[in-house]
Structure 1
Amino acid sequence: MKKFQSKMHSLRFLSIFLALCFAFKLSFSSPGPYVMRISCGARQNVHTKPTNTLWYKDFAYTGGIPTNGTRPTFISPPLETLRYFPLSEGPENCYNIKRVPHGHYSVRIYFGLVADPSFDNEPLFDVSVEGTLIYTLQSGWSIHDDEGVFVEALVFLEDGTASLCFHSTGHGDPAILAIEILQVDDRAYYFGTGYGQGTILRTHKRLSCGAKNSQFDVDYSGDRWGGDRFWNSILTFGQGSDNSISTQKSIKQASIRPNVYPEALYKSAIVSTAEQPDLTYSVDVEPNQNYSIWLHFAEIDSSITGEGQRVLDILINGDVAFPGVDIVKMAGGINSALVLNKTVAINGRTLTITLQPTKGTSAIINAIEIFEVLVAESKTVPEEVKALQSLKDALGLPLRLGWNGDPCVPQQHPWSGTDCLYDKTSNKWVIDGLGLDNQGLRGFLPNEISHLRHLQSINLSGNSIKGPIPSALGLVTALEMLDLSYNSFNGSIPESLGQLTSLRILNLNGNSLSGRVPVALGGRLLHRASFNFTDNAGLCGIPGLRTCGPHLSVGAKVAVGFGALVALLLIATCLTCWWKRRQNILRAQRIAAREAPYAKARTHFSRDVQMARHHGQENSKNTRTAAENGPPLLT
């Protein structure tokens, strides 16, 4: 009994220990791959059957117009909306998806058709990912039940964003049904020299040989790190002498990193016959491009039981790429997966894969993947992209100009009005010219234009741009031509423009500028420079313009202004004193006028009194004189 209890205690302890280990492993295991699926044009999140896949609503990623859409084929996800981009909103439109973790991703874009008979039901346009052109839709894409209804590429995303752009080619409006951004292993589809951040793999063809139905990884119960690939079924290579076979047995060495192919992929195959032992598959490709080819094998033919019974030479466009392939030996047994990869340069327009048995009477293959190897375009210097975005906002650029995505790449679709130059020092593109004349611009010229330090020419003439000319333009030292004529610029010409020693053409005519032309600019008129300052009523200082008054320094101007203010205050004070004195005089006169009758009476009375007194004084004086002189003499 004690032994039994001791065993039970040990088992209980062991179970607890294992549970803790499992929990510890889960807590410290790597998180699952990043997944972002967008149902374009949708206002709410959508779940689709049969896998209950979550598609996020389409909000704040781009412009364009959301509307009802239709699925071109069964391959497209069962979604009811899309987003299309009319040419009136510009030739370039982009989805800018932020907060995407650094890593390696499978990016898939599904195309749609606007559910309105008045629309062209098959738009043709170009698609770029991170500034690299990856696909051009071909006429008839919407009626083929294959990969033509979407484009897929493996790309490294390094800056926390994903930029997916659609470029109009003049045939219909780009219409996007859905977008998937699915993280894969950082070394997924590693093909050797050239692999890495500067390379994009565009899926050209992916075939599940011998399979009855086309399926995604999720239908195969595949690992999420596989990127939910789509495998197009193919039952025959069209030679009339090959067969499809399948097995239900388990396949070893299949679902392992970095590519984690689904095990079910290897349970079907195409096998040649003794009458026609070679297997040949051909596909059209773009000429003068590199292609990475991945061939999948598992010996599931019941007639093969060991090594040496089937050996193949594998040729690509007639050249032996893999000699003496013994699938059983190389895979480690029957019903074991083997993957071979070869990257080749294709000069013509056809890629042909041939499997020739050197031992045995037939060839076999389970799956084929073909990727076009694209060199990722170098992007424009980020500081200059931000400067152009500031310019776009400040000048109120019309939607028809676009200005979405990267200004310089893809090189087939640069921004309207921008000239690009490849800078070998930074290995990036820079802006060396702006030509936005006569575009109806009505904003102002921001200081951020100084961040376009490689500009050699600026032409903004014939618009309605207002405000001052930014002094920061003096920092664009490479500038040779500046044409701001026939706008509404005001204020003075910045002295900083005199620092542009490479400037040969300066047109500022037809504005509302004022003040003195900077001496450094005026002095260069004698050195073969072409400067035009006419039709600015307030400008002065060079021949052809009015004469300026004495040139005062800033301190002198302040002193003159202060003196004028003091004089104005003194004049105001004197006027105030005079006005008050005048009011007092007028008041006294009014009072005197009211008292005049009484004053006149008093005046007469005083005069009578004074005269009476004077008369009395005279009589008294005469009497005294007579008394003193005696009686008058008689004659």
Structure 2
Amino acid sequence: MLKLQVLFFFFFNFCLALNIAISRPAPYVTRISCGAQNDVRSGPTSTLWRKDFGYTGGITKKATRPSFITPPLSTLRYFPRSQGPENCYNINKVPRGRYSVRIYFGLVAEHSLDDEPLFDVSVDRTLVYSLPSGWSNHDDGAFVETLVFLENGTASLCFHSTGHGDPSILAIEILQVDDKAYFFSGPVFGQQTIFRTSQRLSCGHQNSKFDIDYDGDPWGGDRFWSSIMTFGRNSDNPISTKSIIKSASVAPNFYPQALYQTALVSTDNDPDLTYTIDVDPNKNYSVWLHFAEIDPSITGVGQRVIDIWINGDTVFHDVDIVRIAGGVNSALVLNKTVAVSGRFLTITLHPTTGTHAIINAIEIFEVITAESKTLPEEVKALQSLKLALGLPLRLGWNGDPCFPQQHPWSGVDCQFDRTSNNWVINGLSLDNQGLRGFVPDDVSQLRHLQSINLSGNSIHGPIPSALGTIISLEKLDLSYNSFNGSIPESLGQLTSVLTLNLNGNLLSGKIPAALGGRLLHRASFNFTDNAGLCGIPGLPSCGPHLTVGAKIGIGLGACVAVVVITTCITCWWKRRQNILRAKRIAARDAPYAKKRTHLNHIQMTRHHHHDHHHEHTRTAAENGPPLLT
């Protein structure tokens, strides 16, 4: 079995090497200096760290560097619990592929070392790490690294508060690796699997280094290798060589050549080499063992043959490094995935031919099953609801609503939908949260909802008719808010509803017939404390029903009547003022008018007497002298 695996491994590497021999672009790389306002470079390699972007919240703080492993950066992003239990970095425009994702932790400069934040970390919706107490006292505890497949163009890295300190993130690295990286036997990290680095050791080397310090190929992902000079108990000695190592930096894993130029070799005191690491129980671990026969005392096949045990079980039998690798100073990689029930993983190399065992490097990964995802359109609808309702920061609502399952969004209930093979939202409980916005039409995208409770807030605006399209609704509680307008007719389509509470709002108009006709059935409705509602027992009766056109006509007629009445009153008032003004003038001029009238009368009298005398004289002349009797 081992021979078949090894032959397959070398054949696979050979084919990939031919393919990679053709030039290809450099791997995608993004490094973020959290809290930095400008791009910075760090020594000694002049590595570029981009200014802070992609975060959902948090505060920029000065950083204390907890380990020599962490990059020499002076700022971090600090996520206080008051800004929500979940905060994320969402890095967009990440090409589809496999990535090494590394997150460095920091300490806020003004805090004491006793104030060590403990929190959970998720990558692409999956919980990958919980910071243990005392992590800041261990150099290799200052970061978490995962190998993950990113397919949606976004890397989502989230930090979940657990009640002890607040997350503090110093830096983030997203490094593309070969499309077939860590492919051999057992689970392969990809769409369904994530590898979290538990341990990575360079045996016999004096200094811990990154791939870049080893002059490693960038397609390896710039891994960090902790140095280890002995497994203890005087059982081994370090050896080294300057010889060129064949078959080292090749696809798909591109291990640096220098990794194989040092090793630990067992001694006569204990021919076995044994290494033990603490692990979490009841999980699977992928173990990668690196060999190169650099011991000058071994020159050919058959001189050193070993068995490899993991927790007492033989996983590889009769391993002859020179024969399998094709000669001395040639790299060999063996991989095995094992289930561990206890708290320790022990690797033992036992020589069956020769007197000593040898090992150059060890990698141990926790194998994590990638979580599913919430239906994307429902996540988008919740984000729209978050903005429209003005959700307080303390609720968070960042990342995925349902994952990781240990940290779902507050007030959101999830269930698995076998039809779509996705997780969906089946409940919203946001009662008494001080919400002051409105309910958007996008709420209709949450088509699997069975319960909505928004009671006891200050939500305003009309009840969206789109709610009537969520036919799975069994409970809708919008009571004690400030909803106004009429109840949408579409709510009559909620044939599954058992509870409908709209009481304590500013609603008006007639209860839709489809709702009113079901009051005697099993559903429980409450429309009280809405002064303008009518049409069912317990509410005022409704007057004649007017169409919208009639209501508009009445309104226009009333406006015209008001204008006409106002005009008439204005004209009457002006006419009356004119009459009153004329009377006042007449009253003031009365004495003068009387005197003039008297003079005119005298003149007219005199004129009349004169005319009469003249007429009499003329008549006498015409008749002659009077007759005498």
- Provide the TM-score with structure 2 as the length reference: 0.87
Match of 1:379 in 2: 373
Match of 1:74 in 2: 68
**72-81 vs 571-580, greater mean Cα deviation:** 571-580
1:464-484: per-residue Cα shift (whole Å, max 9, x none)?
Answer: 222222222112211111111
Match of 2:17 in 1: none
Q: Does 1:173 align with 2:186?
A: no
State the one-letter code of the partner of 1:523: G
Match of 2:134 in 1: 140
CA distance in 2, matches of 1:83, 1:163: 16
State the one-letter code of the partner of 1:169: T
Q: Does 1:37 align with 2:45?
A: no
Alignment of 1:172-571 (within 5 A): 172-192=165-185, 194-195=187-188, 196-565=190-559, 567-568=561-562, 571=565
8 Å contact kept, 2:381–2:443 = yes
1:349 Cα deviation from its structure 2 partner: 2.3
Q: 1:250 to 1:492 in 2, by over 3 A?
A: same
**Which of these residues, 118, 143, 154, is aligned with residue 150 of structure 1?**
143
CA distance in 1, matches of 2:449, 2:461: 21
CA distance in 2, matches of 1:389, 1:515: 32
1:231 Cα deviation from its structure 2 partner: 0.6
1:605 Cα deviation from its structure 2 partner: 7.4
1:575 Cα deviation from its structure 2 partner: 5.1
1:328 Cα deviation from its structure 2 partner: 0.7
CA distance in 2, matches of 1:53, 1:287: 38
Q: 1:457 to 1:305 in 2, by over 3 A?
A: same
Partner SS for 2:363: strand
1:219-261: per-residue Cα shift (whole Å, max 9, x none)?
Answer: 1111111111011111222242222111111100001111000
1:563 Cα deviation from its structure 2 partner: 4.2
8 Å contact kept, 2:234–2:269 = no
**Which of these residues, 71, 94, 97, is aligned with residue 91 of structure 2?**
97
CA distance in 1, matches of 2:333, 2:558: 92
Partner SS for 1:219: helix
Alignment of 1:5-24 (within 5 A): none
1:414-458: per-residue Cα shift (whole Å, max 9, x none)?
Answer: 111111111222232211111111111122222222221111111
Partner SS for 1:335: coil
CA distance in 1, matches of 2:248, 2:357: 21
CA distance in 2, matches of 1:139, 1:580: 91
1:602 Cα deviation from its structure 2 partner: 7.1
8 Å contact kept, 2:54–2:89 = no
Q: 1:139 to 1:184 in 2, by over 3 A?
A: same
CA distance in 1, matches of 2:191, 2:374: 16
Gaps of 5+ in 1: 1-25, 621-635
State the one-letter code of the partner of 2:432: N
Partner SS for 1:300: coil
1:117 Cα deviation from its structure 2 partner: 4.0
State the one-letter code of the partner of 2:94: V
The share of aligned pairs that are identical, in percent, is 73
8 Å contact kept, 2:187–2:337 = no
1:119 Cα deviation from its structure 2 partner: 7.1
CA distance in 2, matches of 1:452, 1:551: 35
CA distance in 2, matches of 1:117, 1:569: 73
State the one-letter code of the partner of 1:415: W
8 Å contact kept, 1:290–1:344 = yes
Match of 1:163 in 2: 156
State the one-letter code of the partner of 2:181: A
Match of 1:13 in 2: none
**62-71 vs 246-255, greater mean Cα deviation:** 62-71
Match of 1:9 in 2: none
1:278 Cα deviation from its structure 2 partner: 2.0
Aligned residues: 593
CA distance in 1, matches of 2:114, 2:451: 40
Gaps of 5+ in 2: 1-19, 617-629
Q: 1:571 to 1:121 in 2, by over 3 A?
A: closer
1:318-342: per-residue Cα shift (whole Å, max 9, x none)?
Answer: 2222222111111111000011111
Q: 1:573 to 1:174 in 2, by over 3 A?
A: closer
CA distance in 2, matches of 1:173, 1:92: 11
1:367 Cα deviation from its structure 2 partner: 0.7
Q: 1:80 to 1:605 in 2, by over 3 A?
A: closer
Partner SS for 2:377: helix
CA distance in 2, matches of 1:194, 1:541: 65
1:378 Cα deviation from its structure 2 partner: 1.1
8 Å contact kept, 1:390–1:446 = yes
CA distance in 2, matches of 1:582, 1:117: 85
1:236-294: per-residue Cα shift (whole Å, max 9, x none)?
Answer: 22242222111111100001111000000001111123442222222222222221111
8 Å contact kept, 2:54–2:91 = no
1:599 Cα deviation from its structure 2 partner: 9.6
Partner SS for 2:550: helix
Partner SS for 1:391: helix
CA distance in 2, matches of 1:371, 1:59: 29
State the one-letter code of the partner of 2:334: L
1:346 Cα deviation from its structure 2 partner: 2.1
CA distance in 2, matches of 1:124, 1:46: 28
1:481-526: per-residue Cα shift (whole Å, max 9, x none)?
Answer: 1111112222222222111111111111122222222221122110
Partner SS for 2:518: helix
- Provide the TM-score with structure 1 as the length reference: 0.87
Partner SS for 2:212: coil
Q: 1:308 to 1:60 in 2, by over 3 A?
A: closer
1:571 Cα deviation from its structure 2 partner: 4.5
Match of 1:53 in 2: 47
Q: CA RMSD in A?
A: 2.9
1:113 Cα deviation from its structure 2 partner: 1.3
CA distance in 2, matches of 1:396, 1:592: 73
1:37-94: per-residue Cα shift (whole Å, max 9, x none)?
Answer: 1122222222222111111222453321211121212111122222211111111111
State the one-letter code of the partner of 1:49: G
8 Å contact kept, 1:43–1:59 = no
Q: 1:81 to 1:269 in 2, by over 3 A?
A: same
1:587 Cα deviation from its structure 2 partner: 7.6
CA distance in 2, matches of 1:47, 1:144: 25
CA distance in 1, matches of 2:358, 2:444: 64
8 Å contact kept, 1:191–1:343 = no
CA distance in 2, matches of 1:65, 1:575: 67
State the one-letter code of the partner of 2:180: R
